[in-house]
A and B are shown apart, each in its own frame.
Chain A
Amino acid sequence: MKSISNVSRLLAVSALALSLGPVLGGHDVHAQTVVGASAPLTGPRALLGRNFKQGVELAVEEINAAGGVLGKPLQVVFEDDQGDNPNAALNAVNKLMQVAKTPVILGPHFSVAQLATQKTYCNGTTVSITGATGIPVTAGGCKFVLRIRGNDEIQARALVEFARRELKTDKIGVIAVNDDMGRGGVSRITSVLESSGLKPVAVESHNAGDKDFSAQLSRLKNAGAELAIMWTHDNEAGLIVRQARQLGLKMRFAGSTSASEPTFIKLAGEASEGVLSGNDFVASNPAPHVQAFVKKYQAKYGTAPEIWASTYYDAAHLAAKAINAAGSSDPEKVRAAFATLQHDGVLASYRCKENGDCNHQIHIVEVKDGQPIVRSTVKF
């Protein structure tokens, strides 16, 4: 009967598909120390995921050359969380926790992915080291998350105060992307301005992946903004300043981390000149360990490192250091080790507080001649 033969064919195919799983998986925990990583390996943020992976792999090389973790080579297992997809993040983190049983997970990076997964890992199953900047990530009482970048409050406050002093203007407009990062930034900027008795002259938004911003830019112009703060991703930020230049707008631009990233500078071209931003990592930082990192990364991958690569390079080193200091891969002990850990990473010198914030500074950066130059370092 035709449908029966169809059924048997179907069963054969699904059996084949499912059999691939166990064949390709498998991590030998006895011969290696395994740490997990949840990164956007696929989807619209896959480029950032690639940078994440490259930074981690560089760190793993260095760690293993220096003796590994707990006397064994370190292995990092990657799972895809597609960036800001809460379901994918849940599945990725679950798989790392329950199947690979990793004591530490690098990432998930996006704040919304962190908030989605905290319910599962904050009971002590694993420690998460993340570069998420949303305030709620460490404000929710989770004892097992460590944030190694300045949060939105630090970034927004430092940027707004510097920009007001430097540009001597109070007519500030905002344009942000419609996701967790953008909305988080908007609320932080608005509250920082309010604490000085100001309001933004206009608050505009756009969708991730948008290519045309003429509507938002013309509204900013009509509102009289002299400074426009962009809280969005690299591509979109680059397109915004380029389009503003094309439209002949005179306003200055400042932005979140993305406004000093290589992708932004490349896309914006000349329009990137003079754009201010807050960034945890600057490749031109003259400190010797930062320059060593930049040279090694450039030599290995052919591109300059940026915020994702550097953040998770530091995260991997921190994980290794903490596990070694704890002397075991028990998540509780590892977390306890962080309380007394001090490490000079390429982002900052880390000192972890009780709530998990480890990085209390931010660099204010200006793009000059296509290079991000540090204008000042603000410590909180």
Chain B
Amino acid sequence: MATATTRKALLILFLTALALPPFLGVNSYYLQVLNLAWIAAIAALGLNIATGITGQVVLGQAAMMGIGAYATGLILLKADLPWWIALPFALALAAVVGAGLGLVSVRIRGHYLAITTLGLNEIFRLVVLNEEWLTGGAFGLRDIPVPSLPALGSSTASQLYLPLLGAAIAVYALTIRMYRTRLGRDMRAIRDDELAAESMGVNSRVTKVVAFVICAVWGALAGGLYVISIGFVSPNNFVVMESIRLLLMVVIGGLGSIGGTFLGAVVVTVLPEALRDLQLIYLAAFGLGVVMILLIAPRGLGVVADWVLAPYLPGYREGPPAAVAQTTGLALDRSVAKAAPVPAAPASGADSMPLLAIRDVSKHFGGVAALSDVSFDVKSGEILGVIGPNGSGKSTMINICSGIVPLSSGRVELDGRELNGRPAWDVHALGVSRIFQNVRLWNSMTVLENVMLPHPASRRSGLLESIVGTPALQAKEDEARQAALDALDLIGIRALADRRASDLSFGQSRLVELARAVVNKPRLLLLDEPAAGLRGGLIMELADILLQLRSQGMTILVVEHRVKLIMGMCDRVVVLNLGEKIAEGRPADVARDPVVVDAYLGGRIKREPRQAVARPPLVRERPDTRRAS
């Protein structure tokens, strides 16, 4: 396994090799083709940020290039300003357009967003084509002054080779830096699981807008550099096929792989030119080449690039992977837990204000009443259990409390503050954390990154800070990392810190989710069936952890089916059935309540005497409502 030094040396070797051609007297045709490759690499990276890293499909990146190209060209031609004024203006314009597109993407998602961006691309081309008075129409903008740097070479292509290569490398370095920090984590979280990201404090609106702004700015930079180095631009440069070409670069490079995008851009730009001698069939050969590449490296060329860039990417550890004891999850020292007596619930008299007040909450999904006028309190410092048969509205209640689903009527107040109407990330910021019934981890990130994300130090990192990478940011990252490790310690799964979330067993991921939920020391913890999928012994250890969390001041609301867990751990229990609260009180009392028993076991049903002859097994006579779990 090559060390970091080897890989860094390989990277430097690669970059030096890229920088050599003008000095070797390579023909200016080849230099020109490579220049186009560097420009395409910048545009493709912008696309990868929006599509590969943040998961928003964008089919209109050529229009972003076009905005940058035309803005730069027009300022150079009509306002007669130098390129180092024109280009920043163009980037600022593109940033505004990108922000607009980002706001659109909050409303329009998935395939619809893809078609919308495709449409915008075509609209851009047609507007530019028709507004001849401004853009020169179909004949384009011509005679744009091209800077001349005689010191660097004899032809324009060789003069601009190093500046363009330098620009591409700078853009990539900046993006890698941003990828490692909070912004990169937030983007990947949105891609992997947007709902979980929002619940863990990621403001998905702002993050998407930022992703689109960066995508637009990199695209416009590429367009501006194109116009500066070629001196001509026309609407034909920005047809939809060009957007598809950029997407091809991203796919060949590997969605989400930064280094891979560079390789993808080089391949897609250089390979057709290299095959030109095949005359009529060269494009068909190129297509065949693309197919072969994807057969050999289905996840893209990023496999190679990420290996070399690994020291700069998150999740890299020097040396062979530490021998990880095969952990079933919890490694709590039970003797310690036994030594300290389980703290009883702090005396909460009737005068203490409830932490969470749920008043007459109703929720309708179409004609279905998932919740009808449910009211109860969660007192500060208690563990409240919510039980009920399937379909009673327990998960809906948790979704409402965490801000994912708006209620139809009623109020939910946290410490007197209305929660309804706030987006999930604001609810998280107020100190409410949750886990999901089906585990929602961010699979492409490591366990450590998963747990770091909701921590306040990470959440408070500014956007600009993340992009630039100040020492203050480094301090916040370290703080978040340490807190994450502590949270993993608490749950007992420290050893899993560097594993990828997709490599975990179900039980392990359930525990990681728990660590993720407690890392920011929330005031209220909402647990949706935490014990699902865990074996019996682990369930009691889970109860120990929850009791310990309670002793640290956390209030916990647990939705569960397992009676043993509820009895062992909860201070009070609320019972829901078909959207209504049917009982509330101490666990032992609730367990004996006839209404509750009735709801779980079903009404008294007449049973037909079984016949001696075996019935056909597939026929069911009535729905089986007996078992709760």
**Chain A: residues with CB nearer than 8 A to chain B?**
3, 6-7, 9-10, 13-14, 17-18, 20-21, 24-25, 41-42, 78-80, 84-87, 90-91, 94-95, 97-99, 111-112, 115-116, 118-119, 134, 136, 140, 178-184, 187
The secondary-structure label for the interface of chain A is: helix
Q: Which of A20, A99, A140 contacts B29 (CB 8 A)?
A: A99
Q: Is the CB of A17 within 8 A of B140?
A: no
Q: Is the CB of A17 within 8 A of B276?
A: no
Q: Is the CB of B277 within 8 A of A21?
A: yes
- Interchain residue pairs with CB less than 8 A apart (17): A7-B307, A24-B278, A90-B32, A91-B32, A91-B36, A91-B273, A94-B29, A94-B32, A95-B29, A99-B27, A99-B29, A112-B140, A115-B142, A116-B234, A118-B142, A179-B129, A180-B234
Q: Is the CB of B138 within 8 A of A184?
A: yes
Closest 7 CB pairs of A and B: A183-B138, A180-B138, A98-B29, A24-B277, A94-B29, A25-B277, A119-B231
Q: Which of A10, A41, A91 contacts B279 (CB 8 A)?
A: A41
Q: Is the CB of B276 within 8 A of A140?
A: no
The reply to whether the CB of B292 lies closer than 8 angstroms to some CB of chain A is yes
- Write the nearest CB–CB distance from A200 to chain B, whole angstroms: 16
Q: Choose the segment among B169-177, B297-305, B405-413 that binds chain A (4+ C-beta atoms closer than 8 Å).
A: B297-305
List A contacts of B279 (CB < 8 A): 41, 78, 80
Q: Is the CB of B139 within 8 A of A184?
A: yes
List B contacts of A99 (CB < 8 A): 27, 29
- Write the nearest CB–CB distance from B272 to chain A, whole angstroms: 9
Q: Is the CB of A84 within 8 A of B32?
A: no
Report the bound CA distance from A6 to B307 in whole Å. 12
**20 further contact pairs, Cβ within 8 A, besides A10-B296, A94-B28:** A6-B296, A7-B304, A13-B289, A17-B271, A17-B289, A21-B277, A42-B282, A86-B140, A87-B237, A91-B36, A94-B32, A98-B27, A111-B139, A112-B234, A119-B143, A136-B142, A140-B143, A180-B139, A184-B138, A184-B139
Q: Is the CB of A13 within 8 A of B139?
A: no
- Write the nearest CB–CB distance from A352 to chain B, whole angstroms: 23
- Which chain B residue shows the least CB distance to A187? B132
List B contacts of A3 (CB < 8 A): 303-304, 307
With A3-B307, A95-B29: A112-B274 Cβ-Cβ less than 8 Å: no
Report the bound CA distance from A180 to B137 in whole Å. 8
- Write the nearest CB–CB distance from A87 to chain B, whole angstroms: 7
Q: Is the CB of B139 within 8 A of A136?
A: yes
- Write the nearest CB–CB distance from A296 to chain B, whole angstroms: 24
- Write the nearest CB–CB distance from B66 to chain A, whole angstroms: 12
Report the bound CA distance from A187 to B234 in whole Å. 17
List B contacts of A184 (CB < 8 A): 138-139
- Which chain A residue shows the least CB distance to B241? A85
Q: Which of B33, B139, B230, B289 contacts A119 (CB 8 A)?
A: B230
List A contacts of B140 (CB < 8 A): 86, 112, 115-116
List A contacts of B297 (CB < 8 A): 6, 10
Q: Is the CB of A20 within 8 A of B293?
A: no
Q: Is the CB of B132 within 8 A of A18?
A: no
List B contacts of A85 (CB < 8 A): 236
Q: Is the CB of B29 within 8 A of A183?
A: no
- Write the nearest CB–CB distance from B87 to chain A, whole angstroms: 19
* Residue among A78, A98, A179 with most chain B CB within 10 A: A98
List B194-242 residues whose CB lies under 8 Å from chain A: 230-234, 236-237
The reply to whether the CB of B275 lies closer than 8 angstroms to some CB of chain A is yes
Report the bound CA distance from A17 to B292 in whole Å. 11
List A contacts of B271 (CB < 8 A): 17
- Which chain B residue shows the least CB distance to A11? B304
Q: Is the CB of A21 within 8 A of B275?
A: yes
List A contacts of B614 (CB < 8 A): none
Report the bound CA distance from A91 to B274 in whole Å. 11
Over the window 23-34 of chain B, the binary record of Cβ atoms lying under 8 Å from chain A Cβ atoms (1 yes, 0 no) is 000011100110
Q: Which of B36, B126, B292 contacts A87 (CB 8 A)?
A: B36
Q: Is the CB of A134 within 8 A of B275?
A: no
Report the bound CA distance from A144 to B146 in whole Å. 20
Report the bound CA distance from A111 to B36 in whole Å. 22
Report the bound CA distance from A140 to B234 in whole Å. 16
The reply to whether the CB of B283 lies closer than 8 angstroms to some CB of chain A is yes
List B contacts of A118 (CB < 8 A): 142
The reply to whether the CB of B280 lies closer than 8 angstroms to some CB of chain A is yes
List A contacts of B234 (CB < 8 A): 86, 112, 115-116, 180
Q: Is the CB of B139 within 8 A of A112?
A: yes
- Write the nearest CB–CB distance from B160 to chain A, whole angstroms: 13
Q: Is the CB of A140 within 8 A of B142?
A: yes
Q: Is the CB of A116 within 8 A of B28?
A: no
Q: Is the CB of B277 within 8 A of A17?
A: no
- Which chain A residue shows the least CB distance to B292? A13
With A24-B277, A94-B28, A187-B132: A119-B303 Cβ-Cβ less than 8 Å: no
List A contacts of B232 (CB < 8 A): 86, 115-116, 119
- Write the nearest CB–CB distance from A125 to chain B, whole angstroms: 10
Report the bound CA distance from A134 to B231 in whole Å. 19
Q: Is the CB of B301 within 8 A of A97?
A: no
List B242-299 residues whose CB lies under 8 Å from chain A: 267, 271, 273-280, 282-283, 289, 292-293, 296-297
- Write the nearest CB–CB distance from B466 to chain A, whole angstroms: 30
List B contacts of A178 (CB < 8 A): 126, 129, 138
List B contacts of A6 (CB < 8 A): 296-297, 303-304
Q: Is the CB of B293 within 8 A of A182?
A: no
- Write the nearest CB–CB distance from A377 to chain B, whole angstroms: 28
List A contacts of B237 (CB < 8 A): 86-87
- Which chain A residue shows the least CB distance to B306? A3
Over the window 20-51 of chain B, the binary record of Cβ atoms lying under 8 Å from chain A Cβ atoms (1 yes, 0 no) is 00000001110011001000000000000000
List A contacts of B29 (CB < 8 A): 91, 94-95, 97-99
List A contacts of B231 (CB < 8 A): 119
Report the bound CA distance from A184 to B233 in whole Å. 17
List A contacts of B142 (CB < 8 A): 115, 118-119, 136, 140
List B28-86 residues whose CB lies under 8 Å from chain A: 28-29, 32-33, 36
With A86-B234, A86-B237, A183-B129: A21-B274 Cβ-Cβ less than 8 Å: yes
List A contacts of B132 (CB < 8 A): 183, 187
Report the bound CA distance from A355 to B364 in whole Å. 77
Q: Is the CB of A10 within 8 A of B304?
A: yes
List B contacts of A86 (CB < 8 A): 140, 232-234, 236-237
Report the bound CA distance from A221 to B33 in whole Å. 49
List A contacts of B289 (CB < 8 A): 13, 17
List A contacts of B138 (CB < 8 A): 111-112, 178-184
Q: Which of A7, A87, A95 contacts B303 (CB 8 A)?
A: A7
Q: Is the CB of A183 within 8 A of B277?
A: no
List A contacts of B233 (CB < 8 A): 86
Report the bound CA distance from A79 to B33 in whole Å. 15
- Which chain A residue shows the least CB distance to B233? A86
With A18-B274, A98-B27: A179-B282 Cβ-Cβ less than 8 Å: no
- Write the nearest CB–CB distance from A190 to chain B, whole angstroms: 11
List A contacts of B301 (CB < 8 A): 10
Report the bound CA distance from A155 to B142 in whole Å. 24
Q: Which of A7, A13, A20, A119 contacts B277 (CB 8 A)?
A: A20
List B contacts of A17 (CB < 8 A): 271, 274-275, 289
List A contacts of B292 (CB < 8 A): 13
* Residue among B36, B234, B279 with most chain A CB within 10 A: B234
Report the bound CA distance from A24 to B277 in whole Å. 6
- Write the nearest CB–CB distance from A222 to chain B, whole angstroms: 21
- Write the nearest CB–CB distance from B185 to chain A, whole angstroms: 25
- Write the nearest CB–CB distance from B410 to chain A, whole angstroms: 53
Q: Is the CB of A90 within 8 A of B28?
A: no
Q: Which of B139, B143, B283, B307 contacts A42 (CB 8 A)?
A: B283
- Write the nearest CB–CB distance from B387 to chain A, whole angstroms: 48
- Which chain A residue shows the least CB distance to B245? A87
List B contacts of A84 (CB < 8 A): 236
- Write the nearest CB–CB distance from A6 to chain B, whole angstroms: 6
Report the bound CA distance from A78 to B276 in whole Å. 10
List B contacts of A7 (CB < 8 A): 303-304, 307
